[in-house]
Structure 1
């Protein structure tokens, strides 16, 4: 296993680090000020649009997509350190480089499974950053940790499909530029194979019968950068049969193909969030005095910082190993490692952020530092893309299978 960064990775790292210092970090406060003046909280602040143009000019665009015809053509191992850097400002950097979920996963689905017309109509404007998208899978009325539970119906009616169901926490749905949903539902609810009951279909946001019911908060945050999270009603929404992605019954397999890269991208960015937390801890520790000495001289603070550094180094190596395996033996061959990082990374980063918040006192839970918002994002990732317990169950079964 060789995790050394090659020349192209080093070049992009250098450009991205400079871009973060010169543009992204200064834009964080500006974006919040501008958002307060917008007519809708889901509109994009002007500074974000300016940074998108600058990132594209610098070639820092669509870095996530390994398909060289559509994206940067980077391997997972090449992209990993870049995603980590973007994770230091997760609410701006991925968006301005067109590397933000859920658009990334949707673009991967359209690249791998979409037909020529679907790619032309929806993939190309997504790649250009002209529109945004949403992925509608999770439902409020069933345990969506088991994707076979979903109840949304996708029924064939002549040359159309009729979509009926209720989804929630649909990321990106509130963004004014969101034009398309990828919806997962059941085309064969009585089918004998529970993993062949589901299909995925493209539903334009302006389709009659599609209603944005409400915005969903995450620990009180609206999560503007992703276009929010919405509850969405599909009430007999009709779309052409040609909007089906792949074949009927292929939805579960497409979902697994989509979520594999998504899980590792999240873990890469989480490491960047942890690095930001360590930096903020250290700056706080050397600048504040309590009980007659700097916080940096307190033994417990030493422990927090040292433990955080050890944890991040361990996690980074596991993530890089996973990326290397995905490149060399494929997602299936890296299944154990993908699940391992999905379990370990959010949990550990939440703990690091918790210590950083504690060190900042009241400031840690305020809007004056990014820690509270980072904590909300990291804690959510213990649920998103399959809750930790689902991955623990699957991983344990795979380990036990060798002994049975």
Structure 2
């Protein structure tokens, strides 16, 4: 439920880009800056809240983070100007990474070692379901009522999640907790920084395409607005299957699975612009591009293997890295679009970032062979 709320809150703006632009009298690339503001909130908030929350029981930290998320999205729903909405989106992003990171650690602690990636993929399934159902629902809500209702809906889900965690998650008083200083000391290792760099660069391509999917459908594919939630649903379907695929791949191929996913992403993103000419081909392309969501559970579980003594900070920073990609993707795509290269250029930009992630992976894999991880 928490993953569903966070995923819907993060991605809702993408389907409502034309609505928000019209309401505040700004351009669609400017609305793209709201996506980047949220993502930068995650980047800032994930390590800070993880470090300061490391001394708390994980149950209490999850409750505080989700309550914070509810407040940030309610503020977004009532924002009176573009600037106020920008600040509200930044604030709403602050608890995102720490929540997902701590939730993944809780899930992994409840299963045998060889099933951790699958357990993490279950936590991430909320994010996949947000892509599948939450985002299309928020888009329909925004189109038929007003975009503000989408963020009010997210605030309601976050409030419900806070109650559910309070009632159903048991408090483990034997939980090992670390001081903020020890987490920071243990975090400063290249084995941790490589996967974070892979997520920051390699995943930017998906966000580049996804962020500008609505205007691409309207301006390039010449589709009716009613196709936007359909395309978002198909994208979500790819993300759902990709999420499960990522857990399966990592449990079998370990860190090598990340390289396979990046190679797939580079090819599919490069082919995306060729598919924008018709609604059916772009829907197929959306599904195939979204399969790269598989990188999420694979990188998250790898970080658990290498982040001894800094698991809370590393798990949260994983989501900071992915949201750095969420900031980088729309920014690079927006620059290319503003330079007159067309909406479909997002695919080529995204493929380039996937290749960049693949290069970092190859360097990390070489280092891993020299210094193998011992569980």
- Measured against the shorter chain, the TM-score band is 0.3 to 0.5
Give the TM-score normalised by the residue count of structure 1.
0.33
Asked which structure has the greater CA Rg, the reply is 1
Q: Give 1 or 2: higher helix fraction.
A: 2
Greater share of residues in strand? 1
